């Protein structure tokens, strides 16, 4: 790699850096952000455990059969599952919004990096036109 770099002129090295090396690293960073926030919000796990008990709060039916106790425990467990589903829905929603935001920002940064030299050259030309 170093021998190949010594044989290239400075313009070629800049073009390779601008349009090949940095975009590759930008895509890696973009992927890392997406993976981090996917793990941070635990979206796959939240989807798998969508109707699980909230914080594993589960009531026991106890021994014997008491219809009042049975209905009370069933209703309490149902509330725990519904609460878990509601909280997980909000977390999945906010996590998805963050992921979509990262996709858009990453796309803007990537495209911005690629058109940065064009904007720089256009700015220089426009600046010289204003001065002269």
Report yes or no: 80 and 54 within 8 Å, Cβ to Cβ: yes
pTM: 0.74
- Counting the structural domains of the chain, the total is 1
Q: Tokens representing 105?
A: 């920002």
Nearest-CA neighbor of 109 among 46, 50, 6, 22?
22
Handedness of CA 3, 8, 14, 19 (dihedral sign): negative
pLDDT of residue 65: 76
pLDDT in tens, the chain (132 residues): 566 656 778 888 888 989 999 999 999 999 999 999 999 998 888 888 888 777 666 656 667 777 777 788 888 888 888 888 898 999 999 999 999 999 999 999 999 999 999 999 999 999 999 988
Q: By three-state DSSP, how is residue 60 classified?
A: coil
Q: Which domain holds residue 98?
A: 2-131
pLDDT of residue 72: 82
pLDDT of residue 3: 66
Helices 22-41 + 67-131 axis angle, to 10: 160
Cα(69)–Cα(67) distance, rounded to whole angstroms?
Answer: 5
Cα(20)–Cα(8) distance, rounded to whole angstroms?
Answer: 15
pLDDT of residue 1: 55
């Amino acid at each position: 790699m170093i021998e190949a770099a010594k044989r290239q002129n400075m313009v070629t090295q800049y073009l390779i850096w601008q349009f090949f090396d940095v975009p590759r690293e930008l895509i890696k960073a973009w992927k890392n952000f997406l993976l981090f926030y996917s793990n941070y919000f635990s979206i796959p796990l939240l989807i798998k455990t969508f109707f699980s008990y909230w914080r594993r709060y589960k009531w026991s039916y106890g021994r014997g059969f008491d219809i009042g106790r049975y209905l009370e425990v069933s209703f309490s467990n149902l509330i725990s599952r519904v609460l878990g589903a509601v909280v997980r829905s909000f977390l999945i929603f906010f996590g998805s919004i963050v992921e979509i935001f990262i996709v858009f920002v990453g796309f803007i940064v990537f495209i911005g990096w690629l058109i940065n030299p064009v904007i720089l050259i256009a700015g220089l030309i426009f600046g010289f036109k204003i001065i002269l």
